[in-house]
Amino acid sequence: MRKAVLLLLGFCTVSAPAALRGSESGLFAPRPLLLTPDEPPEIPLPERGLGAPLPASPLDAAREAEALVPEKTPDASLEAKRVNDLFHAVLRGDAGTVAALLDEGVNPDSELPFPVREDLLPLFRKDFLHYYATVEKGLTPLMVAAARGHRDIAVLLLEKGARINACTKRHRTTALWLAGYAGRVQVMQLLLGVQPGSVADLTVLEVDLGSQTVRVLRDGVPDEPAPISSGRKGFPTPTGEFVVTNKHRQWRSTLYHASMPFYLRLSCRDFGLHAGQLPGYPASHGCIRLNPETAKALFEEIPIGTRVVIK
């Protein structure tokens, strides 16, 4: 063994520089640096004749016997039924059943089994979730709770470790996107980590399309309004309640190839607030344009998760 180690050390200290010198010496053709010798040294095998191995201890014998017993796995049909029951409870908004199933060990990130159970399909036909129940795989209980606005159930799932950023298979749809598409403000704020009493919780951006103004309400106290330019005829700015879900200091519209500095995206949708020209009347493609000073100030002051009311 000692001879083998010396051979290895000797090779590492002599052969490597020779390989590096290569064409300089003219003795060797260039070749990459090797970490092992061309002919591995002879390493002696363990000596024989030292007697039989010691008998295994009772504890080792018990562990060995236990390892031979096939591992118990849950019955696939029973597990599928429990997963379907979880989706059924989430769809109905039954927080008690959801909590019980999660306590029994049902995976909070379980994907909706395909094909969908017959008694579940009618519950999906109420809204756009029907697409995810019949075409696109990867729907999770948290996604369903987000789309339906069941905040209490979303809390239960998150407490059990449900992944916020889990995606569907084809379009990489997340729970936050589904909540935004459905206008579930409270669920969006939950998924974005907005805490009670935080700046995001106490702040509201209020956009008035009639007066073409925006103002910030901090804990109910309004700031001075600033001018805007909203969507022109044929490109109306959506009204309702939204949430700031993304912030981009520099953004370029993928639809109109226009620069959109200090962009505050609303509810994961294709519109928001950003710096732009203000001609004094509605002139955008649906976004809310701000003068550069206002846009920069709002970008720096308004945190993700802030509510935005457009009326």
- The answer to whether residues 174 and 207 belong to one domain is no
Residue 251 pLDDT: 77
Indicate the pTM of the whole model. 0.73
18 in a structural domain: no
- State yes or no: pLDDT of 261 exceeds 80: yes
Mean pLDDT, to the nearest integer, of 286-301? Answer: 95
Residue 13 pLDDT: 41
Residue 97 pLDDT: 97
46 in a structural domain: no
Give 14-28 pLDDT, tens digit per residue.
Answer: 344 443 444 444 444
Query: Which residues partner with 244 through β-bridges?
Result: 266
Mean pLDDT, to the nearest integer, of 93-117? Answer: 95
75 pLDDT band, cuts 50/70/90, is low
Range of the domain at 220: 199-310
- State yes or no: pLDDT of 184 exceeds 50: yes
Whether the CB-CB separation of 238 and 304 falls below 8 Å is answered with no
Please identify which residue in the block is written with the tokens 């809310």: 288
231 in a structural domain: yes
Residue 53 pLDDT: 42
Mean pLDDT, to the nearest integer, of 195-216? Answer: 96
- The answer to whether residues 152 and 101 belong to one domain is yes
41 in a structural domain: no
- The answer to whether residues 284 and 235 belong to one domain is yes
Residue 46 pLDDT: 38
Q: How many domains does the chain have?
A: 2
- State yes or no: pLDDT of 1 exceeds 90: no
Position with higher pLDDT, 88 vs 61: 88
Residue 60 pLDDT: 52
- State yes or no: pLDDT of 59 exceeds 90: no
> How deeply is 18 buried, as exposed, middle or buried, from its count of CB atoms within 10 A (0-12, 13-18, 19+)?
middle
- The answer to whether residues 152 and 234 belong to one domain is no
5 pLDDT band, cuts 50/70/90, is very low
Task: Give 202-206 contacts, CB < 8 A, sequence gap 24+.
Answer: 203/302, 203/303, 203/306, 203/307, 204/306, 204/307, 204/308, 204/309, 205/244, 205/273, 205/298, 205/302, 205/306, 205/307, 205/308, 205/309, 206/308, 206/309, 206/311
Position with higher pLDDT, 165 vs 32: 165
Q: In this structure, what CATH number is given to the domain that contains residue 229?
A: 2.40.440.10
- The answer to whether residues 204 and 120 belong to one domain is no
- The answer to whether residues 259 and 286 belong to one domain is yes
192 in a structural domain: no
- The answer to whether residues 233 and 174 belong to one domain is no
pLDDT, mean over the chain:
82
Residue 9 pLDDT: 41
Residue 302 pLDDT: 96
- Give the phi and the psi of residue 295 in degrees, each rounded to 5: -60, -45
- The answer to whether residues 165 and 213 belong to one domain is no
